[in-house]
Structure 1
Amino acid sequence: MELDAASVWTIVAAALVLFMTPGLSLFYGGMTRAKAALNMMMMSIISMGLVGVVWVLWGYSMSTEPALIKEVVGSPITNFGLIDMVNQSPEDLLGVGFSATFAIIAVAIISGSVADRAKFSAWIAFVPLWITLVYCPLAFMVWGGGLFGEDGAIGSVLGEAIDFAGGLVIHINAGVAGLILALVLGARQGFGKDPNQRPHNLPFVMLGAAILWFGWFGFNAGAASDPAQAGLIWVNTLAAPAAAMLGWTVLERIRDGHATSLGGASGIVAGLVAITPACANIDPVWAIVLGFISGIVSAYAVGLKYTWGYDDSLDVVGVHLVSGIIGTVALGFIATPETGTAGLFYGGGVGLLITQVVATIISVVYCAVVTLVIALVIHKTLGFRVSEKQEVQGIDLAQHAETAYSFASGTSGTFSHSEQKPSF
């Protein structure tokens, strides 16, 4: 039997979304110091390996029916290893692969909040625990027929929450987790004072942002149900980050006297985050407005870490959490009736707005509490943070016995174990 067009598109979309994680590793790697670039990139890449295995064994099963805990999480044993699916409905495996790429990018996003100071072994322990206990349940609640679904305890009373591609499940979820980890690990040495904590490779940052934008068309449009919806999503995924980039850079020009490449790249990501939950439910003009607002607000929000004293190293909170909330809650105002549910501005009343706010609050609280428990357990057992000496020396050498760059002729970027033993 030949592949149909929908199956081919799912394959392409899944590949695009998977490619986003290497793009994120470039984006994050360029934002760190030179002596921490490899570690930062490895935290994204190792997430592909860890989540890929978890998703096949039990992650997918926990994000779908039947439920282990009613409306909260699926059973990890029903589709364990996907054995029954291979034998009975192998055509559904495309959906498994597509959904796995979302789980991978979600946990990889979190790593930016703890750049320069997290033990690699602690991160390896954190990833499968977080995917299992936080991501899978929330994916079930939103997309798997759980709490926020049409027949769920909240959805049946307030109405189904809209999260087409992951505002709640991915960006708010990852942003909250990033904040919790930043608080548990504490600030880097010299936070807010050391100029060497600035991004070391801005071309990497810009290239990473471009790859993210490219992959995001699969991220948002991968689940489109028909050509009309796919077209709307594609245009919105173009318009929102474009406007967000303009909003961020205009703010920088007015506030600081110059627009930066880092600001432009960050604005792109902020707009992509904001449009993710809303991509199939708003008009392109509103996508521009949403993007512009998210760019400005996130540009302000990234500075709060210095005011409030939490070291969110690569702005996971300011970009993903803030813009994720903006995009999710904005649907309560600007969702168009043609897409199924009208927002307040289209005569739909406050029902959808209340639903979106309640879903956001529950998601934030659930993620914060469970992530805190996971982080504290790891911190008190394995230890989540490297020593001060290793942080000053450079986490690449301390954790991997490698360096991203070789500046002396005749030397390589990898050290033998006799020269430098990585500390786990």
Structure 2
Amino acid sequence: MALYVQKFGGTSVGSVDRIKAVAERVQRFRSEGHQVVVVVSAMSGETNRLIELAGQINDDPTPREMDMLVSTGEQVTISLLAMALHRLGVAATSYTGAQVGIQTDSAHTRARIQKIETDDIRADLDDGQVVVVAGFQGVDEEGNITTLGRGGSDTTGVALAAALGADECQIYTDVDGVYTTDPRVCSAARRLETITVEEMLEMASLGSKVLQIRAVEFAGKYNVPLRVLSSFEEGPGTLIVAEEEESANMEEPLISGIAFNTNEAKLTVLNTPDVPGVALKILGPISDAGIEVDMIVQNVAPTGDYTDFTFTVAKSDFRQTQRILEQQVLPSLGSGEVRGDDRIAKVSLVGVGMRSHAGVATRMFGVLGQEGINIRMVSTSEIKISVVIDEKFLELAVRSLHTAFGLDQQNIRQEG
């Protein structure tokens, strides 16, 4: 007998029929003798509907009241799922985050979990019940309802699995696992049987939307076996593991996947004085405006007197960042010129194999060069290489790199 924590997202519980299908899946696990805790999101579109309602009342509602409002979406789902389980003869009890003892800090709309009380959950499980928990929410020390931010149900699932010492946390979604890249861009993309926590964190941060980053971090910190599965078809999914076991297959690809992000814009401040503190003068006002900066490149002129400072931000922040540079930064520098481009994309190779194999970057640059794709910026880490290219070349770049690094093969990361 195993203990599973199963999380179902909004698409998976998007209608009454889908909630019934989830109940049938849970029933199969119970009939095999397993204990099950189910974490659910609000029905697809419900959170957005509630946010729109709030906007019709007040265009600047307090974070506390927003948490009170949007947390009701999950309350609907847990009760409906418990009813569906009862209909199948499965004993089940539903709980909100507060009722189940998920205690958080008081940062409304972006709270972080501090601890989870598990006594009541364990008692219900020992009594043969399925425990149905509202994801995305908790309660602070003052008894206020809090929410964990977008995608927070993933974090709830992993946190419960860690607190209960579950055998596996299963994330059910509308895809059947983690792929080498987006199949909509590259039809040769393949589902990975396994991927490491490190790789998954990089993939998530670089544009892959399969899992919330905080959930992956939680899984890595508490060594929770995490599996991504489809709600709509049977299959083994993708298992996210702490470390990849050394493979006996010497031809195994060095790269696990290719991530990309088109929500990028590039800005360059040209001909700025190359003096100490210039980076702070450029980025300080941008940070003060709450804008996050991603990649940064600084090129110093041969004379050493001037530098070109280039960085990327989210495309939605492009115009605001441009205004800050022109209206605040350039006057403080006394010179310079701003140029911007919001038609770029970031393409990244991810793989723990980079640690022990040289030449990955050279090979990547060679493939892009052969396709006539110019590289605008480069960023690297131990297990990642990212390049900024013109957005129009995105699909060509992804497909070419996918083939060049052997990711088209059927036998990628096969277990056993």
Choose between structure 1 and 2: higher strand proportion: 2
Q: Which category of TM-score, normalised to the shorter sequence, fits these structures?
A: under 0.3
Q: Compare relative contact order (CA 8 Å, sep 6+) and give the higher one, 1 or 2.
A: 1
Normalised to the residue count of structure 1, the TM-score between the two structures is 0.25
TM-score (norm 2): 0.26
